[in-house]
């Protein structure tokens, strides 16, 4: 595995847990963290032992966004002194794009505040479980910017245009319960139950046939930009190789033998 900066990476029981690890700065993002997060997500997606990814933060915050102190000090984004308008950024390798194209399911355990870039990261995950103490802060317009890392694409698709417009344009900060009511998070649990509950859901997904899980996520993602007819055809083409897998045969056997299946990912 790669060496990660300000990031913890652990694999257990088929679940890769990626923890943003700058608790003293509420896990505010630095340039090395961006690189590390992309690497960790790619490592998890390519590791056959990993079936599910959990993204969370250390300490009392999930992610406070880009580190404003670094930016103000000239050591953050744009620190090379170049012209940001003409700079060449590796957006294809940036965490929001890597997260979006990751085939392994990604669960976000929102242990605390998610603001700005941190909010976009959370929205890019497939399932969000929030601590009752978490807050989702769409404060971009209050800082003179816009949801730059996937939020402007994700938010309307998650909650509809009108609600997304109000949240983004007002620069709203939502409590965990308000986020649940809007449909931005799947579950809200007490802080002490956050990781056990998240791992329970991750474990349920990890117990399913991994190739089928990944194909399902891939087809759902592509379906966002396809016609119904095109998606039906693509799904059928994904189905054909799944019929040839040992996991499919194991799924059928376990059904008739009335026992839990033991999927191997092949």
- pLDDT at position 148, please? 84
Judged by DSSP in three states, 38 sits in: helix
For 125-143, the pLDDT digits (tens) are: 999 999 999 999 999 999 8
Backbone angles phi, psi at 133, to 5 degrees: -95, -5
pLDDT value for 223 = 95
Cross-sheet strand order for the sheet of 173-175: 61-63, 113-115, 135-137, 173-175
The domains located in the chain, with CATH, are 7-206 (3.90.226.10), 210-256 (1.10.12)
In DSSP notation, 83-119 reads -TTT----GGGSHHHHHHH--S-EEEEE-SEEETHHH
Query: What's the whole-model pTM score?
Result: 0.91
Predicted local distance difference test score (pLDDT) of residue 2: 65
- Kindly report the average pLDDT of the chain as a whole number: 92
Q: How far apart are CA 240 and CA 39, in angstroms?
A: 31
pLDDT of residue 3: 84
The pLDDT of residue 23? 95
What's the pLDDT score for residue 129? 98
Kindly report, residue by residue over 77-97, the tens digit of the pLDDT.
555 545 555 555 678 889 999
65 sits in which H/E element: none
> Which residues of the chain have a pLDDT value below 50?
81
The pLDDT, as a whole number, for residue 235 is 96
Give the Cα separation of 193 and 173 in Å (integer).
23
Per-residue pLDDT at 143: 87
CB half-sphere exposure, 19, CA atoms < 13 A: 17
Q: Give the whole-number percent of the chain exceeding pLDDT 90.
A: 85
Give the CA distances from residue 122 to residues 57, 114, 119, 147, in Å, rounded to whole numbers and listed in that order. Answer: 11, 7, 5, 12
* pLDDT for 120: 96
Q: How many CB atoms lie within 10 A of CB 157?
A: 11
CA–CA separation, 211 vs 167, rounded Å?
Answer: 36
């Amino acid at each position: 595995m790669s060496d990660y900066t300000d990031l913890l990476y652990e694999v257990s029981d088929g679940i890769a847990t990626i923890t943003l690890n700058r608790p003293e700065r509420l896990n505010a993002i630095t340039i090395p963290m961006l690189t590390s997060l992309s690497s960790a997500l790619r490592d998890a997606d390519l590791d056959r032992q990993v079936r599910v990814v959990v993204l969370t933060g250390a300490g009392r915050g999930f992610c406070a966004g880009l580190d404003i102190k670094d930016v103000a000090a000239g050591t953050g984004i744009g620190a090379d002194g170049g012209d940001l308008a003409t700079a060449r950024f590796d957006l294809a390798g940036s965490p929001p794009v890597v997260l979006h194209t990751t085939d392994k399911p990604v669960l976000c355990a929102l242990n605390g505040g998610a603001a700005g870039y941190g909010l976009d990261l959370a929205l890019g995950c497939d399932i969000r479980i929030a601590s009752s103490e978490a807050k989702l802060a769409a404060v971009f317009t209050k800082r003179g910017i816009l949801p730059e890392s996937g939020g402007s694409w994700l938010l309307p698709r998650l909650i509809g245009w009108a609600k997304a417009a109000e949240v983004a344009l007002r620069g709203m900060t939502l409590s965990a319960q308000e986020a649940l009511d809007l449909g931005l998070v799947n579950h809200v649990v007490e802080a002490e139950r956050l990781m056990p509950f998240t791992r329970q859901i991750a474990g349920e997904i990890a117990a399913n046939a991994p190739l089928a899980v990944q194909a399902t996520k891939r087809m759902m993602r592509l379906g966002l930009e396809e016609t119904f007819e095109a998606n039906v055809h693509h799904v059928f083409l994904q189905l054909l190789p799944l019929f040839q897998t040992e996991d499919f045969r194991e799924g059928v056997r376990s059904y008739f033998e009335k026992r839990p299946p033991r999927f191997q990912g092949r």
